Every structure is written in structure tokens, then in C-alpha cells.
Amino acid sequence: MPTRALSTARTVTATALAATALGTAALGLHLATDQQAARAASVTGTTSSGAAPQPAPRERDDDGALAPSGFGLVQPPLSGGSGLSGGGHTSSHGS
């Protein structure tokens, strides 16, 4: 019985951890959605209509994986060094 109790406790702990992880993931999704909504609002000057945010429609990318239909979120680039001396540098000159 102690073994079963321990097992049950582990199951509960694992479930709680999973729930926490799911909650975190859901929170992350909401944050991402909110960021996109805020970004759009800041440009268009509109406010939320109150409708529940919907995930962006997805499409099959060329590798067969599901890909978002809009531009992906991207980290802003950092300001580079004062010059291009040393290694690890290249140029984007247009084409």
C-alpha cells in the first residue's frame, strides 16, 4: 500500500507539473497573441472588438510542417559594432 500511495502521489505530482506546463504554454500563446494584437492596434489605431483572439490560420510549409500564415515573430537585430573588422561579418548590399 505504501508503494501504491507513493505511486499515486507521483502521479498527482506529475499531473500537476503537466498542468503547470500546459498553463505556461497557454499563457505563452496568449501573450504571443496579445503582442500581435497590440502590434496591429498600435499601427492601425483600432482597439480590440472584444472578440476572443483566434490563432492565425496555418498552412503547410514546403517541408510539410504546419507554418503560420503570417510573418513569424522576430527578435529585433542588435546594433552592431563600430565597424566590420575581425571575423563573423558580412554585408547585405541588395540584389
Least distance (Å) between residue 55 CB and another protein: 16
Q: For another protein, what does the binding mask look like between residues 31 and 70, x meaning CB under 8 A? A: -----x--xx-xxx--------------xxxx-x--x-xx
Binding of another protein by 5 (CB under 8 A): no
What are the C-alpha distances in Å from 28 to residues 2, 5, 22, 23, 83? 38, 34, 10, 8, 37
Question: Which among 2-10, 11-19, 26-34, 72-80 is the span making contact with another protein, rule CB under 8 A?
Answer: 72-80
Q: Give the phi and the psi of residue 68 in degrees, each rounded to 5.
A: -65, 150
